[in-house]
């Protein structure tokens, strides 16, 4: 099973989702069955580590993002990943625009897995510290829902 998180810059929201989902899958004993990655629709930060405010906020919750490096969404991603999850509506629109015909991935908003409908993870880049905490709160809730969904799909594959 492969999961790709997508935001704009790949230095705030999607790396946070990548790190938090990895922690949640480890807790559930499923980490060895799932590959996780993240990327941005934009190209400004390619090769850079996550924003220091993102790294610090995640560290406070026991998630180490320091080794991650930003990359841009690529055409191959649509074949490779089972879930391609957008942080906001602009990311989702970019995914739908670039998605090739016949793509079988589940493409949607990440917060659908937190029981929200049509809700974005707000971009914290131009705001204060509290924005980074809000990203973590939302991402933690959605990650727990996504782990349940992944566990269901893995169970269905075994049957």
**Active-site residue list:** 7, 13, 123
DSSP tally for the chain: helices H, then strands E = 5, 4
Please count the residues of this chain forming the interface with ligand 4NP, following the rule CB under 6 A: 11
Question: Residues 3, 11, 111, 147: which binds ligand 4NP (CB under 6 A)?
Answer: 11
Query: Tokens representing 29?
Result: 């004993």
Q: Least Å distance between CB 70 and ligand 4NP?
A: 8
Torsions phi, psi of 3, nearest 5?
A: -125, 130
Q: Least Å distance between CB 28 and ligand 4NP?
A: 25
Cβ burial 55-85 (10 Å sphere, 16+ → b, else e): bebbeeeebebeebebbebeeebbeebebbb
Using Cβ positions, the residue closest to ligand 4NP within the complex turns out to be: 9
Contact between 9 and ligand 4NP by CB under 6 A: the answer reads yes
Contact between 38 and ligand 4NP by CB under 6 A: the answer reads no
CA-based nearest residue to 14, from 151, 42, 152: 42
Quick check: 117 and 36 in contact, CB under 8 A?
Answer: no
* Contact mark string toward ligand 4NP, 70..109, x via CB under 6 A: ----------------------------------------
Residues that bind ligand 4NP (CB under 6 A): 7-13, 40, 44, 123, 125
């Amino acid at each position: 099973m492969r999961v790709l998180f997508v935001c704009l810059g790949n230095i705030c929201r999607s790396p946070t989702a990548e790190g938090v989902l990895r922690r949640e899958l480890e807790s559930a004993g499923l980490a060895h069955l799932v590959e996780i990655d993240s990327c941005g629709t934009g190209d400004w930060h390619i090769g850079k580590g996550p924003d220091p405010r993102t790294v610090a906020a995640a560290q406070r919750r026991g998630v180490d993002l320091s080794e991650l490096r930003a990359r841009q969404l690529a055409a191959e991603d649509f074949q490779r990943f089972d879930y391609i999850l957008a942080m906001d509506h602009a990311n989702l629109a970019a995914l739908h625009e670039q998605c090739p015909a016949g793509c079988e991935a589940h493409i949607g908003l990440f917060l659908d897995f937190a029981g929200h409908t049509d809700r974005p993870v707000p971009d914290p880049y131009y705001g204060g510290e509290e924005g980074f905490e809000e990203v973590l709160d939302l991402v933690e809730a959605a990650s727990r829902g996504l782990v349940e969904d992944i566990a269901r799909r893995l169970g269905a594959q075994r049957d």
